[in-house]
Structure 1
Amino acid sequence: MVIIMNVDATAAEIKGVIEAVNGAGLEAKVMEGSQQKIVGVIGDKTRLASVPIDALPGVEKTVSISKSYKLASREFHPQSSVIDVAGVKIGDGTPVVMAGPCAVESKEQLFEAAEIVKAAGAQFLRGGAYKPRTSPYSFQGLEEQGLKYLAEARERTGLRVVTEVTTVEAIDGVAEYADMLQVGARNMQNFGLLKEVGRCGKPVLLKRGLAATIDEWLNAAEYIMNEGNPNVVLCERGIRTYETYTRNTLDLSAVAAVKHLSHLPIIVDPSHGTGKWRMVKPMAFAAVAAGADGLMMEVHPNPAKALSDGPQSLTPENYQEVMAGIQKLSQFMKQENIVPMDI
């Protein structure tokens, strides 16, 4: 439930509402709307049955939230959220780019990739230290040594680091080295993992599951937020369909849907979404045009020798071309005041 305050509601009146909510054993969160303040109520609203909230001074009306996900819904938080990751803002109108190799293979490979993605304008270095693979015989990552290489690369370049955490036991180690924790598609509904990353205090990048609906995806975000961590960024990376030409089916309609349903930022991963490097460029442009808050792309110094996901990784030259186009498209949309959708 949300309590919408009058435009001229005083601080004392807002405080009175918060005290009434807290007195019923519920949690109240105050949010700034475009013209008025809103008090979000978290918990079982039936506890307020005997509390005349609508009659309290300064209250305009109460509105029930119909979604099963409360904290992630736009009903609860009408203003779009901007997530700050070590000084880089995601969701402020300028697309951010997370780029780098699928897996950290060696110090030399990672450092070279970091310099490449930094030079072309990325803000984040992505790279897997722990790699969940379909086959148990595939390269599984360098684990803690890979995390150390990522931290060293950050010191060299100033890039923020985002990397995947695959188990509850690995959370503390990943959080020590990374600026942002990624929950991968295979773990989107690993509820124990979601709860623990919600408690770790670091921003979280939540990828959409292999066959997850948007509702299931947002409920997964709710698990993280319900543990006290509001800093969640969603990532559309394609879903499993009957199509076999592409690795997954990149659902760009999810960008518009999430923008309508939720206040959380959303980025797009066209590398996993297509599985083909030639398709990354057009899908990256389409994602930005659709209103995505950023992109995640796989870039490798030599994709032919990559230990994982070489066919979908961009070469340095292809990556630079994609980045140049993204920057031009973003500038054009700002100059022409093109807003992809009216929330």
Structure 2
Amino acid sequence: MVIVMSAAAAGSDVGTAVALIEKAGGQAFVSRGAGRTLVCVVGDPDGFSALNLSALPGVDTVIRTSAAYKLVSRENCLARSTVQVAGASIGPGHVTLVAGPCAVESYDQTLRAAEMAAVAGATMLRGGAYKPRTSPYAFQGLGEAGLRILADVREATGLPIVTEVVDAADVGLVSSYADMLQVGTRNAQNFALLRAVGEAGTPVMLKRGMSATIDEWLMAAEYIAQHGNLDIVLCERGIRTFETATRNTLDISAVTIVQQLSHLPVIVDPSHSGGRRDLVLPLTRAAVAIGADGVIIDVHPDPATALCDGPQALIEGDLLELADILTRWGRITARHADYAGASAY
């Protein structure tokens, strides 16, 4: 059972509902997002019928849901959600571009990549300060020094930042710098981390686990929502299959399926799915055409010297075509590109 609170509901209204549920022997999990608050009720639904929850102050509606992922299910929110990240938004009706270097290497490299991202129309900057790598000898990121660089580049460009957090112990630190936390594919079922980012209250980008089913992906999102945070963006970044021609296999059908199952925004990562620069733009077209709410793309001023994922990073010559895809294909699908413009650069 899910209680959908009205937009005008006060904190005391939520508290009243929670207290009544707990007094009746149930559990209540409150999840807050931009413009909506949901209360997931766990227990015997028939036993709660006498409580007349729909008549409580601040309650919009009470829904019995059959979905295992109750808070992120489309059953309780027919209108799809928009997630606000500082001055940017990700949700239906437009195509949001998140772009930047896969890894923060220096201030100059990150600033140049951010300027490139803005030229392409990005409204958010991506950049990794902590890099979980397959090899322990590969570049692991600059840590807090990288976070400080991202904050300085945000100050210079105005672009809000999304960066990965890999350890539950670091959530507070990364949240103090970031506008949005990223949970990467390797941590998509790190339940301690999912709980911690849920409790942090900072918007979250949840990448699909490399071998996760759609149900497992949505249940991971439910962990975040159950611990208080409904501002979640789902990212399809390709899954592991038998195919070796690409880095991963982009499951483009997952965009439509997840939008049918969940009210959360869904974006696509054409960089990590294809793993090759020549595939990024075609996969971006596919993402926009199928109705993704945005794309997250690697750019780098000099991919040949990149410390991480240089072969998939776009260069300056690709940016005008990327911007054209977002605007022209967005119009074809009756959505506008959430375009930042590049006049400042």
Partner of 1:111: 111
Q: State the 1:285 CA deviation.
A: 1.0
Query: Structure 1 residues 241, 335: closer, same or farther in 2, change over 3 A?
Result: closer
Amino acid at match of 1:284: T
Residue 72 (structure 1) aligned with residue 67 (structure 2): no
CA deviation profile, 1:171-211 (whole Å, cap 9, x unmatched): 12211111000000000000001101111111000000010
Tell me the C-alpha RMSD between the 2 structures.
2.9
Q: TM-score, normalised by structure 1?
A: 0.86
Q: Is the 1:162–1:182 Cα contact (8 Å) retained in structure 2?
A: yes
* Equivalent residue runs for 1:283-298 within 5 Å: 283-298=283-298
Match of 1:81 in 2: 81
Q: Which residue of 2 aligns with 1:341?
A: none
Bigger relative contact order, structure 1 or 2 (CA pairs below 8 A, ≥6 apart)? 2
Residue 256 (structure 1) shift? 0.3
Instruction: Write the distance in 1 (CA, Å) between the matches of 2:126 and 2:64.
Output: 39
Match of 2:333, SS? helix
Task: Give the SS at the match of 1:95.
Answer: strand
Q: Could you say what secondary structure the match of 2:334 adopts?
A: helix
TM-score (norm: length of structure 2):
0.85
Partners of 1:308 and 1:81 in 2: CA distance: 33
Count of residues in correspondence between the two structures = 322
Looking at structure 1, the residues matched to 265 and 335 of structure 2 have their Cα atoms a distance apart, in angstroms, of: 22
SS in 2 for 1:84: strand
In structure 1, the gaps of 5 or more residues are 6-13, 32-37, 337-343
Measured after TM superposition, the shift of residue 62 of structure 1 is 6.6
For residues 107 and 95 of structure 1, the distance between their equivalents in structure 2, rounded to whole angstroms, comes to 28
2:239 match: secondary structure: coil
Equivalent residues in 2 for 1:18-33, closer than 5 Å: 18=17, 21=21, 23-24=23-24, 25-27=26-28
Q: Name the % identity.
A: 51
Q: Alpha-carbon deviation of 1:322?
A: 1.3
In 1, distance between residues paired with 2:279 and 2:81?
30
Q: Deviations over 1:126-182 (max 9, x none)?
A: 111111111111111111111111001101111010000011122122111110000
CA distance in 1, matches of 2:31, 2:142: 43
Say if 2:31 and 2:225, in contact at 8 Å, map to a contact too: no
Deviation at 1:325, TM superposition (A): 1.9
Match in the other structure for 1:135: 135
Q: Which residue of 1 aligns with 2:158?
A: 158
Corresponding residue number in structure 1 for 2:170:
170
Paired residues of 2:31 and 2:39 also in contact (CA < 8 A): no
Equivalent residue number for residue 42 of structure 1? 40
How far off is 1:64 after superposition? 3.1
| Aligned AA (2:43) | K
Name the structure 1 match of 2:300: 300
Per the TM alignment, residue 44 of structure 1 is displaced from its structure 2 partner at its CA by 2.1
* Unaligned runs of at least 5 residues, structure 2: 6-12, 337-345
